[in-house]
Amino acid sequence: MRSIRVLHAIQNLNYGGMERLFADIVERLDPARFESHVYVVDYLGRFGAGLERFATLHHAPRQSRFSLLRPTAMARSIASIAPDVVHTHAGVWFKVARAARMAGVPRVVHTEHGRPSPDPWLHRMVGRLAAPRTDTVVAVSDVLADYLRREIVGGSSPVVTIANGVDTVAFAPRPAFDGVRNELGIPVDAPVVGSIGRLEQIKGYDVLIRAFALLLHEWPREPHPVLLIAGDGSKRPRLEALVGELGIGSQVRLPGWRDDVRDLHATFTLFAMSSRSEGTSVSLLEAMSAGLCPVVTRVGGNAAVLGPTLTHRIAPSDDPTSFCDSLRTALTDIATCQRDGETARLRVQEHFSLEAMVAAYAELYAGPVALGGLVGIEQRIDRGQQVAD
């Protein structure tokens, strides 16, 4: 029996946790069982580097202004690949799912990695239109799954939870690293509040910066802590301006995106995440796997990631004062902070491994619809045939 052909569709493979997970799935699927194809609507980007070793890469054709209503060119290109399964990710769900159905694809799977809070009406409506064209909707946390069932999917398709996972071998604890400190001018003995993520409103970095400013104001001794946020996004100018307004520029580093994530982990004293909404954060999982104590907001899947033994490291969302209190508690009791980092790593090893995540997606791809569709796949439209809705 031939392998199952899976077309993994995404907007682009530039920076972000979703993009990293996408690449992890493609790289780790068993090639004896699955033939992987990657379909980008915009461009490849950083996480596309080297994927040609694991999958055939495709760029979606140029879209007309009416493509959202009827993505005929996209449907033709998908039909030419003849996948058994199309797996879409946030940003391309409706258009690619509609095109896949026009192309006669037997199984369409979609993964939701998180929804904004509040979730705009138009965003919800597009999801409601996409759901009936999807065989299975995957949520990365139970909280997100409940929201999707209630507000987006209804009874049009089943919603399952597959938790994100990370490579706990690659992201293992490492000795303290001075290279990043030397590069960014951070004193060797200064505590470092670290974070990695997109500089967007949903990530709440303005809350983290305000909380850090409160912490600095009351910090009793030298050296003062340093806030290091690695990442980039549309809110970077506003965040830089906020740092200036608060007068804390000497203690804040915003170096942009970096590829040395493991070196950053070895520099951080703890990992802070002040998001306004989350699914299951890959950056958080990687930091916890690296043995860092997490300080996070109570949104989305964060509480489920930390589990019952780390609930004391969770603060309310959009509350700089409470987040400051959580940072202070962690930084003034380093021994407990370090023990919580060890607990965090065990939590990820036991519940959020990359192997378990990929195995769950493989089982979903190989379900009865996909396998049953193998017989009829050769009968689907060829490159020159008309695509029907």
Residues 5-41 pLDDT 10s? 999 999 998 877 888 899 999 999 999 999 999 999 9
The predicted model gives 283-293 an average pLDDT of 97
Q: Which pLDDT does position 258 carry in this prediction? A: 92
Q: What percent of the chain has pLDDT over 70?
A: 93
Q: Which pLDDT does position 380 carry in this prediction? A: 33
Q: Which residues pair with 85 in a beta bridge?
A: 6, 107
330 closest CA partner among 288, 377, 292, 381: 292
Q: Please say if the pLDDT value at position 378 is more than 50.
A: no
Structure tokens at 22: 């996408």
Query: Where do the domains of the chain lie?
Result: 4-165+353-379, 179-351
Q: Please say if the pLDDT value at position 49 is more than 90.
A: no
According to CATH, the topology of domain 179-351 is: Rossmann fold (3.40.50)
Rounded-to-10 torsion of CA 332, 335, 336, 338:
110
**What amino acid is encoded at 113 in this protein?**
H
Q: CA 347, CA 307: separation in Å to the nearest integer?
A: 7
Q: Which pLDDT does position 372 carry in this prediction? A: 40
Q: Which pLDDT does position 368 carry in this prediction? A: 66
**Residue carrying structure tokens 């980039």:** 232
The predicted model gives 311-330 an average pLDDT of 98
Q: Please say if the pLDDT value at position 384 is more than 70.
A: no
Residue-wise DSSP of 82-122: --SEEEEETTSHHHHHHHHHHTT-SEEEEEE----SS--HH
pLDDT-derived band of residue 241, with 50, 70 and 90 as boundaries? very high
Q: Please say if the pLDDT value at position 376 is more than 50.
A: no
Q: Which pLDDT does position 62 carry in this prediction? A: 83
- The DSSP code for 228 is E
52 vs 65, higher pLDDT: 52
The predicted model gives 238-254 an average pLDDT of 98
46 phi-psi bin (left φ>0, alpha ψ -120 to 50, beta other): alpha
Q: Please say if the pLDDT value at position 208 is more than 90.
A: yes
**What amino acid is encoded at 377 in this protein?**
I
90 vs 339, higher pLDDT: 339
Mean pLDDT of the chain: 91
Q: CA 43, CA 104: separation in Å to the nearest integer?
A: 25
Indicate if the alpha-carbon torsion angle 9, 10, 15, 20 is positive or negative.
negative
Q: Which pLDDT does position 196 carry in this prediction? A: 96
Q: Please say if the pLDDT value at position 373 is more than 50.
A: no
pLDDT-derived band of residue 2, with 50, 70 and 90 as boundaries? confident
The predicted model gives 84-90 an average pLDDT of 95
CB 6 within 8 A of CB 83: yes
> pLDDT digits over 94-144, tens only?
999 999 999 999 999 999 998 887 888 999 999 999 999 999 999 999 999
Q: How long a stretch of residues is the chain?
A: 389
- Type and span of the H or E element at 301: none
Q: Please say if the pLDDT value at position 388 is more than 60.
A: no
Q: Which pLDDT does position 15 carry in this prediction? A: 76
Domains 4-165+353-379 and 179-351 share a fold: yes
CA distances (Å), origin 207, targets 48, 235, 321:
32, 13, 9
Q: Please say if the pLDDT value at position 77 is more than 80.
A: yes
The predicted model gives 60-81 an average pLDDT of 85
Q: Please say if the pLDDT value at position 370 is more than 50.
A: no
Q: Which pLDDT does position 63 carry in this prediction? A: 76
* Residue 160: partners with Cβ closer than 8 Å, 6 or more residues away: 136, 137, 138, 139, 145, 364
24 closest CA partner among 40, 48, 42, 1: 48
Q: Which pLDDT does position 155 carry in this prediction? A: 86
Lowest average pLDDT, out of 117-126, 196-205, 328-337, 339-348, goes to 117-126
Q: Which pLDDT does position 176 carry in this prediction? A: 87
Q: Please say if the pLDDT value at position 45 is more than 90.
A: no
Q: Please say if the pLDDT value at position 67 is more than 90.
A: no
Q: CA 248, CA 224: separation in Å to the nearest integer?
A: 11
Q: Please say if the pLDDT value at position 166 is more than 90.
A: yes
We find that the CATH architecture of domain 4-165+353-379 is 3-Layer(aba) Sandwich (3.40)
